[in-house]
Amino acid sequence: MAPTLGTFLHPDGFDRPRVVAVLREGSVVGEAGRHLAWAAGDRRQRRGTPYASRGALRGEPVVLVPGFLAGDLSLLPMARALRRRGYRTYRSSINANIGCTRVAAAELEARLESIAHRRGSRVQVVGHSLGGMLARGLAVRRPDLVSGIVTLGSPMLAPAAHHASLTASVDVLVRLSRAGVPGLMAEDCVAGTCARTSFEESREPVPEAVAFSAVYSRRDGIVDWRACVDPQAQAVEVRASHVGMAIDPRVIEAVAAALVRHRDLASVVEVDRGESA
């Protein structure tokens, strides 16, 4: 029997994608091909640009956080593309996002503290799916560390409004945790105090000092796209599969544009507060 997900994780008004919806995720093959062609052209253009003309590093450091079942390698193509655009990117140090969300959030917070201290500035966080939910929670708790977040297909409004295949994956992790395998999601992480605390934190207001963009796709075959449109965020619609958001060039361009927008917004806020001129 599948674990009972907390009813609070599936508010009224949101639906699980239909079983056949996962077929839309097959477009990730085309998205991967599009990325390879786009990246090759991007590299050729960069090689043809004199080093002195490439410009300085842009804005704050950018930390990329992977989604459920994934690790930092899943966002490596995006990290490389952002670095070619002048961003200083960092991994989250999550090898596989399959453990307790509160533990993951605490470890990510420590990672952000280290990067912010090293670079002497707040950071921007780009999170895919569950990674975006972790980013939003940290933005609420630590606005002193986070200047902006970009979520990609993150069902913040209804974490349990996801495809049945994802529920099956959660079931496997819970069963293994119950059998004694350490470091995996337990029942408390999907239906107990841990799950409720994480969800409630992710619904608290994002501080004014933190810019917020939510990228979503109506073609998402894994989560209800409506759950990804946080009313506090600037919504950005793309045409991509859920998995493909990590690699599709159009999504990467949307992320890069959001990072620029966040940087400009942060500059305006600082001027308004008299912190810079």
The reported pLDDT for the residue numbered 53 is: 46
The reported pLDDT for the residue numbered 133 is: 96
Q: What is the DSSP letter of 97?
A: B
Nearest to 105 by CA among 200, 6, 10: 200
The reported pLDDT for the residue numbered 1 is: 44
Confidence of residue 264 (pLDDT cuts 50, 70, 90): confident
Contact of 105 with 73, CB cutoff 8 Å: no
Of the two residues 81 and 55, the one the predictor is more confident about is: 81
Flag whether pLDDT at 142 surpasses 80.
yes
Confidence of residue 76 (pLDDT cuts 50, 70, 90): very high
CB neighbourhood size of 111 (10 A):
20
Contact of 187 with 178, CB cutoff 8 Å: yes
Using DSSP, state whether 147 is helix, strand or coil.
strand
Using DSSP, state whether 148 is helix, strand or coil.
strand
Flag whether pLDDT at 22 surpasses 80.
yes
Q: Could you report the per-residue pLDDT of 98-127, keeping only the tens digit for each?
A: 999 999 999 999 999 999 999 999 999 999
Flag whether pLDDT at 173 surpasses 60.
yes
Burial class (CB in 10 A: 0-12, 13-18, 19+), 248: buried
* Cα–Cα distance measured from residue 50 to residue 37, given in angstroms and rounded to the nearest whole number: 22
Joined together, the tokens standing for residue 16 give 């699980």
* Cα–Cα distance measured from residue 90 to residue 231, given in angstroms and rounded to the nearest whole number: 28
Flag whether pLDDT at 198 surpasses 60.
yes
Confidence of residue 7 (pLDDT cuts 50, 70, 90): confident
* Cα–Cα distance measured from residue 266 to residue 191, given in angstroms and rounded to the nearest whole number: 37
